[in-house]
Amino acid sequence: MTHAASPIRVCDAQDLRNGGPGVKLPATDSAGHSTVFFIRYQDRVYGYLNRCAHVGVELDWENSFFTRAGDRIMCARHGATYLPDTGVCDGGPCRNGRLTPLKVQERDGTVYWLPEGKIQPAASQG
Ligand code: FES
């Protein structure tokens, strides 16, 4: 068997709606403690490290990640916008930056995070 990281359960699939609130989990990476977040956009689930490409703070305000129109991720701090399916910034002070994507999986009505590299869960999930 290969040494694959075990999937982390994020939430029920139905907890994530297109353009709706995200789900956050505690995480660590080489820069210390942070969070990761998971959203649904055009029926697919995406996950990113919750760190703006501008000055490195968390993006959301109370789990709200989307613009009102639901077509961009928007940083609550200075309004940088990111494409939800790639994490590439397309407006605001982070131009040419991008969010760090995570590997996610949706199966049997559940969303999973498959941690890899230096971004790892900070606490075990109950
Ligand atoms: S910290 Fe996100 S736009 Fe400035």
- The pair phi, psi for residue 25, each rounded to 5°, is -130, 150
Ligand 1 atom, smallest distance to 80 CA:
3
Amino acid identity of residue 10, one-letter, is V
Confidence band for 31, pLDDT divided at 50, 70 and 90: confident
Measured from the Cα of 76, ligand 1's closest atom is: 2
Task: Tell me what pLDDT residue 125 has.
Answer: 45
- Residue 40 clears pLDDT 80, i.e. is over it: yes
High-pLDDT (> 70) share of the chain, % = 93
Reported confidence tier of residue 126, pLDDT bands at 50, 70, 90: very low
Which of the two residues, 125 and 35, has the higher pLDDT score?
A: 35
Rounded to the nearest angstrom, the distance between the alpha carbon of 53 and the centre of ligand 1 is 7
Nearest-5° Cα angle at 16, 120 to 54:
55
User: 13: helix, coil or strand?
Assistant: helix
Whether the pLDDT of residue 124 is over 90: the answer is no
CA-closest residue to ligand 1 atom 4: 78
Ligand 1 centroid distance, CA of 65 (Å)? 13
**39 pLDDT tier (thresholds 50, 70, 90):** very high
Which residue has better confidence, 66 or 94? 66
What number of helices (H) and strands (E) belong to the chain?
A: 0, 11
What is the distance in A from the centroid of ligand 1 to the CA of 107?
A: 33
Residue 78 — φ and ψ, nearest 5°? -130, 10
- CA-closest candidate to residue 111, choices 44, 53, 56: 44
Domains along the sequence of the chain with CATH? 8-114 (2.102.10.10)
* pLDDT of 4 above 80: no
Q: Dump pLDDT digits (tens) for 75-93.
A: 999 999 999 999 999 999 9
Pocket lining for ligand 1, CB < 6 angstroms: 52, 54-55, 57, 75, 77-80, 92-94
